[in-house]
Amino acid sequence: MAGSKATDLAIDHHHSAPIHGVSALRVLPDEGGTRNWDRIIVDERIKSRLLSHALLALAHEKEFYALPGALQRLVILSGPPGTGKTTLSVGLAEVVSYELADKGDTCLVEVNPHALPSEMLGESQRNVARLLDTSLPELSLRYRHLVVVIDEVESFAVRRSSASFEANPIDVHRASDAVLEGMDRLMKRCPNVLVVATTNFPNAIDEAFTSRADLVLSIAIPDVETASKIIAQSLDELAGIWSEIRALADDKALHRQLAQACKGWDGRQLRRLPLKALSENKELALSPERLQAEHLHRATTI
Ligand SMILES: Nc1ncnc2c1ncn2[C@@H]1O[C@H](COP(=O)(O)OP(=O)(O)O)[C@@H](O)[C@H]1O
Ligand SMILES: [Mg+2]
C-alpha cells in the first residue's frame, strides 16, 4: 500500500496547503448525495445503530461535553477486507450531513494512516501529532460537524503486544501512546468531531484503542440473503445501461442460486460477479447485452 505522495496529500482549499496524512476532504451534503451509504447492503440493524450513534454524538455535543466520559465519539468498524467498511464510513458522513443539515455543514476528512510512515517512528509521531493536534482541530473550528474516517487504523494503532516490525519496542509503545493521547486530546478539545475507524484485522488493534470506542461493530461476509441482493443490485446497474439485461436483473431465483454458489465471497467479489461474467469472452465484452444466466453461473466457478 505504497500510496503515492500525490494522493496522500489532500488540498485544503481554504488554506490551499496540503494536510499530511489526509487523503480527501469533502464538505457535505454535496452532489454525491448518499450514494456510498445506499450502495452498501448490510443488515439494517448495523446501519441503524451506526447512524443513531453518530447522531447522538453530534447532535448533543454541548450536553455530552458537560458530562466528561459520558460518550466517546469514536466508532470502530471491523471485518474482513471487501465487506464495505470504508464505503460505509464515508456513507455515514453523507447521511449524517443530511440529518444535521439544519444545524450546518459536515466536513468529511479521510485519513490515510499509510501516509504516516511507521518505519520512521519519530517522524510518524510528529506527523500524527500535527494531524491530531493542529490540522483536525483547525478544521473542526471551520465546520459545524467533522467526521474523521481513519481507514485501516491497525497501521496507526499497532497493538503493543504484537508489534512485529523491526523497531525498538519502546519506540512502538511511544508511537502508539502518542496516537491514543492525541485522540483523547482531539475528542476533549473538539466536541463536534466524530471519528470512525475501520480495521481489517481487529486483533492487531491496541486494546487501549478499542476500549475508547463506545461502539465496535463487526461487519461479516454477506449471508446468502444479502449476497443475492448485492448480485441483484449489480445486475440492476448494468440493466440501466443495457436494457436487454433487465430480465436477469429481475430474476430473484437466479440471484439466489448464484449467491448459494458464491458462499464465502465478500461484497466486493459479489458485486463484480456480472463483470467477471462479461469478461469471459470477446463477444460478451463487446456486446454485454448478450449476457445470459449461464455466463453468470460459469463466473461463480472460475
Ligand atoms: N455489503 C456490500 N454491499 C454492496 N457492495 C459491497 C458490500 N461490501 C462491499 N461492497 C463493494 O465492494 C467495494 C469495496 O468495499 P470497501 O468499502 O472498500 O470494503 P472494505 O473497506 O471492508 O475493504 C465497495 O465499493 C462496494 O462496491
Ligand atoms: Mg477498506
* 10-residue stretch averages of pLDDT, the chain, 302 residues long: 44 62 93 97 97 94 73 90 97 98 97 66 72 93 96 70 56 67 86 93 77 90 98 98 98 98 98 97 96 98 87
pLDDT recorded at residue 3: 37
Same domain, 154 and 171: yes
Residues with CB under 6 A from ligand 1: 39-42, 81-87, 198, 222, 230, 267-268, 271
pLDDT recorded at residue 302: 79
* Ligand 1 atom closest to the CA of 87, numbered from 1: 17
pLDDT recorded at residue 138: 95
The residue out of 194, 218, 242 marking a domain boundary is: 218
Nearest CA residue ID for atom 4, ligand 1: 40
Q: 117 lies in which domain range? A: 5-218
Same domain, 194 and 284: no
The residue out of 189, 218, 247 marking a domain boundary is: 218
CATH number at residue 107: 3.40.50.300
The residue out of 186, 218, 250 marking a domain boundary is: 218
- In whole angstroms, what is the distance from residue 178 CA to residue 162 CA? 17
Count of domains in the chain? 2
Same domain, 18 and 109: yes
Same domain, 176 and 204: yes
Same domain, 213 and 276: no
Same domain, 132 and 242: no
Same domain, 214 and 231: no
- In whole angstroms, what is the distance from residue 41 CA to residue 216 CA? 19
Same domain, 156 and 84: yes
Same domain, 142 and 249: no
Same domain, 58 and 26: yes
Same domain, 121 and 90: yes
| Cα 83 to ligand 1 centroid, rounded to whole Å | 5
| Cα 65 to ligand 2 centroid, rounded to whole Å | 31
Same domain, 118 and 51: yes
Q: Of the bound ligands, which one is closest to the alpha carbon of residue 110?
A: 2
pTM score, whole prediction: 0.89
